[in-house]
Chain A
């Protein structure tokens, strides 16, 4: 059993409104997350020993956002920017947690931000499409982010005799919970029919299978366990993190029906936490649903169900709030929005709110086991991070 000073807990959370945020600069957007996180934790900037910023960048003008945002927010301690594509937020969390576990910090901030709308849509599609294996996949063949996941969707639907309508069920669930989340980019319900009518972006994936382009920021204040107990009545401990990297080149993947890096990251997280897997240990899941197919594969890669059974979970509503495995009750990447570098921290904020019992009306899970699981993928299984949170009671 670890003593409190060998643990790290979240003691404060902050989350900006997600969406097209051309009303604010990247620094102003960062502050929208940092300010409430500091206030929630009851600490000030001088208490913070280290901060990390998950960010992909390229589409926004600042090259050193950790420093420009830190300056705006009055933070002058040591810092860095982390890049793990769409899992940059989880990488930010890892670094901040490690700074505390190593004894170098008592209190640290892990944040994430993305300011995508500072560039035109075509440029964004170009930049994110380049984030695979540029030389062998983009240069000659113009791969896109939806294109990568579409390769998996084609194979999955064929292998498990599923239909595009089945994938749309994930969009319907996402939009249902997004409609209940005041921070979400899309706060309206959708239907399988509406999803099926949307245009193809990369067959078989349609616009309504896809997470949107999003501006957003999120922040968590972390503290060493003994400090956290003094700061908060409801600390949420970062119990374990598992991580793995897949290949960049798609030809070297062994399987196009699931993400091998996700499976390895999950196994590592369960092992570090001393848990026997996902099925019986968690009240709440945050899974990386950048596309509907990604959510289905996540259920299987995390071990909630066997391969090929992920769609069945959706059909039976088992990942809705009142099902066996409540997942993405914040609307997920699909409806809440997917500001690349902020997503991992946004998921951490959501799990903290859920475990504290502070989620908005209609989307609070029943918390009995006191544990939540976060699954955050960078690229198309290029990076994978699985983080386990616990109330510690």
Chain B
């Protein structure tokens, strides 16, 4: 096989986005207070996660924030063994989708010691967490 000749790019792009969160700042404030929040339309009752402050059905901003109690059951999960470049220092991690008591499904990491014990339908608790990098997030925990 001949060796292919490539020109290594001399230009390097550091790609880092600025993501506006003004409308959902209460979500991030909630994490710092230990709460995971969604929004609810006061007119049709629809619950939103990811949260949005305007109901796209009713077309009004008549929405309110509510805190999840955190009780959830496991819908499905995977252990990511081959991570993207920006997550290679995490090792492998378990991503789960949980159905919350409030009827909303959320995707997040599942924090569990014994991965062989993970079973679809198992009970979990969704909690706000402070990540080792110092910022706030949310994770499921086994009970």
User: What is the minimal beta-carbon distance from A90 to any residue of chain B, in angstroms?
Assistant: 26
Give the contact-size bracket for chain B: 20 to 34
User: What is the minimal beta-carbon distance from B42 to any residue of chain A, in angstroms?
Assistant: 21
Q: What A residues does B107 contact at CB under 8 A?
A: 136-137, 141, 143, 249-251
User: What is the minimal beta-carbon distance from A62 to any residue of chain B, in angstroms?
Assistant: 12
Find out whether the CB atom of B76 lies under 8 angstroms from the CB atom of A154: yes
B82 beta carbon closer than 8 Å to chain A? yes
Partner of B106, one of A126, A129, A205, A251: A251
Q: What A residues does B137 contact at CB under 8 A?
A: 140
Partner of A22, one of B4, B105, B120: B4
- Tell me the count of chain A residues lying within 8 A, CB to CB, of chain B: 41
Chain B 22-37, CB-CB to A under 8 Å as 1, else 0, gives 0000000000000000
Chain B residues within CB distance 8 Å of chain A: 2, 4, 6, 9, 19, 49-50, 75-88, 90, 93, 95, 97, 104-109, 120, 137-138
User: What is the minimal beta-carbon distance from A300 to any residue of chain B, in angstroms?
Assistant: 17
Find out whether the CB atom of B87 lies under 8 angstroms from the CB atom of A142: yes
With the chains together, A41 CA to B68 CA distance in Å?
60
> Which of A100-108, A145-153, A216-224 binds B?
A145-153
User: What is the minimal beta-carbon distance from A376 to any residue of chain B, in angstroms?
Assistant: 24
Selected A-B contacts with CB under 8 Å, 20 pairs: A122-B85, A123-B85, A125-B82, A135-B19, A138-B84, A140-B109, A142-B80, A142-B86, A142-B90, A142-B93, A146-B80, A150-B80, A154-B78, A200-B79, A200-B81, A201-B81, A202-B82, A203-B79, A251-B49, A256-B97
Chain A residues within CB distance 8 Å of chain B: 22-23, 61, 122-123, 125-126, 129-130, 133, 135-138, 140-144, 146-147, 150-155, 158, 199-205, 249-253, 256
Q: What B residues does A200 contact at CB under 8 A?
A: 79, 81
